[in-house]
């Protein structure tokens, strides 16, 4: 009696099928609510960038709206993370898209501030080189493993968000130019955490390579 050794390949699962917002143990769709919020953050970044540059450093209504948009969009990072964890919607797509959304928004803010002459270009360049370098590293090992954000990386993200928000809001118009001192101290802390967390990623990669 002949045995069947071959046959049609099993159909590949539809990545868009599954849970979108509900909690459960079944597979989650890559179009779940957490990932949708992340994609919206990415799509809002060009609008923020346009408003920031359209104000041209005049500290008018567009500048305040741009600053408020930055805060609202960056705050959704905690929201989509909470939804992903609490409703078991964590996916490799979300793990990759989430830091990309953060880097796109913070990168746009830093470049915009430097174009306006309010932040030294070397600060923007150091931060962007670190962010792009770690992102490229993550993608280079994606076929083997997904590297989530470390605690140092998360602290860096928070520090950057606070420092950039302080730079974006023209609070010196309300409280005086001493606010600039606070802004630069906050940016110095964010810069230090950016560099240190980047070195931590590199050291972790070296150790993993040696053990492998």
- 38-74 residue pLDDT tens: 999 999 999 999 999 999 989 999 999 999 999 999 9
* Average pLDDT along the chain: 84
Q: For tokens 């989430």, what's the residue? A: 98
Average pLDDT for 1-23: 62
Tell me the two tokens of residue 26: 């079944």
More confident residue, 136 or 193: 193
Check if the beta carbon of residue 155 is closer than 8 Å to that of residue 197.
yes
- Band of residue 1 on the pLDDT scale cut at 50, 70, 90: very low
Residue percentage of the chain with pLDDT more than 70: 83
More confident residue, 172 or 204: 172
More confident residue, 60 or 87: 60
Angle between helices 121-140 and 179-211 (to 10 degrees): 30
pLDDT at 197: 87
Q: Record the pTM.
A: 0.82
HEC readout, 163-208: HHHHHHCCCHHHHCCCHHHHHHHHHHHHHHHHHHHHHHHHHHHHHH
Q: Is the dihedral of CA 156, 158, 159, 164 positive or negative?
A: positive
Q: For tokens 């470049």, what's the residue? A: 111
pLDDT digits (tens, 9 = 90+) for 88-121: 887 777 877 887 888 899 999 999 999 999 999 9
Structural domains in the chain plus CATH codes: 33-211 (1.20.120.1760)
Strand partners, 19: 28
pLDDT digits (tens, 9 = 90+) for 153-164: 788 889 999 999
């Amino acid at each position: 009696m002949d045995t069947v050794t071959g046959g049609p390949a099993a159909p590949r699962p539809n990545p868009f099928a599954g849970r979108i917002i509900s909690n459960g143990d079944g597979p989650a769709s890559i179009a779940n609510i957490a990932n949708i919020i992340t994609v919206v953050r990415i799509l809002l970044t060009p609008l923020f960038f346009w408003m920031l540059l359209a104000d041209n450093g005049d500290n008018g209504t567009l500048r305040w709206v741009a600053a408020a948009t930055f805060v609202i969009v960056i705050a959704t990072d905690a929201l989509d993370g909470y939804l992903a964890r609490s409703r078991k919607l964590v996916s490799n797509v979300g793990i990759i898209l989430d830091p990309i959304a953060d880097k796109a928004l913070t990168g746009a803010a830093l470049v915009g501030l430097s174009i306006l002459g309010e932040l030294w270009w070397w600060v923007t360049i150091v931060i962007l080189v670190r962010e792009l370098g770690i992102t490229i590293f993550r993608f280079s090992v994606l076929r083997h493993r997904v590297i989530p954000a470390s605690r140092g990386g998360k602290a860096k993200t928070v520090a950057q968000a606070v420092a950039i928000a302080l730079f974006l809001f023209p609070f010196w118009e309300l409280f005086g130019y001493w606010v600039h001192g606070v802004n630069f101290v906050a940016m110095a802390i964010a810069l230090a955490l950016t560099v240190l967390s980047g070195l931590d990623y590199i050291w972790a990669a070296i150790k993993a390579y040696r053990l492998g």
